[in-house]
Amino acid sequence: MKNILHTIAVIGATTALVLSGCKGGKDTSSTPETRGEVRIVEYCSGPEFLTNGEYFRASATGTSPQREIAKKIARQNAEATLARAVEATVEIVAENQATQLGFGTTEEATSKFNELSRTIVNKKLTGAITICQELTLTEDKKYIAYLAIELSGGELANAYVQGLKQEERIRAEYNYDQFKETFEEVMSNYREQ
């Protein structure tokens, strides 16, 4: 009788372990879909739309109930982003150039370089090329414009050089090859990112 009770206890324990093992084997993890997540497609975005060693690039969106206004907002946002990127790069080059040129005060030269930079960037932004444009319509009848633009680093550098040549104080001590080398070095940093 003792053996029978012992056997029944062992069978009961084994059954309990097997059943709990089966229950624990269920996949209870949730998926993005079961959590109510929706995949978002970001048009005109991704690695091919980032600034690289040759081009300054920017992506942006604009939303409006009017199609053309959505496009205009996207363009303005992209140009503002592009302008900030260009100005930051040119500022690095300008500070480097001012230091290398040995101006009495680097503040004077940096100020001239930055003033020139803003003028050139404003002129060149009108020539920024659209490299991607998508338009969607939401359920509530709003347009979303997606846009990516680019500006050639080489063209920008050339415009900058032409502007520098018109500044007497800078032209006297300016070295084109040194500027170009510094500019290309800063642009190559984008390629490595």
pLDDT, tens digit, for every residue of 152-177?
988 888 887 777 777 666 655 556 67
The per-residue pLDDT for 7 is 47
pLDDT digits (tens, 9 = 90+) for 21-44: 554 544 557 887 788 888 888 899
Q: What percent of the chain has pLDDT over 70?
A: 70
88, pLDDT greater than 80: yes
Pairwise CA distance, residues 128 & 85, whole Å:
13
pTM (2 d.p.): 0.70
The region of weakest confidence among 38-42, 50-54, 106-110, 158-162 is 106-110
Looking at per-residue pLDDT, the higher value among 63 and 155 belongs to 63
Domains of the chain, first to last: 47-188 (3.10.129)
- Dig out the tokens for 39 from the structure: 């995949």
The per-residue pLDDT for 5 is 44
The whole-number average pLDDT for the span 82-109 is 73
Best-predicted range by mean pLDDT (6-20, 61-75, 112-126, 162-176): 61-75
The per-residue pLDDT for 121 is 77
3, pLDDT greater than 60: no
The per-residue pLDDT for 36 is 80
11 pLDDT tier (thresholds 50, 70, 90)? low
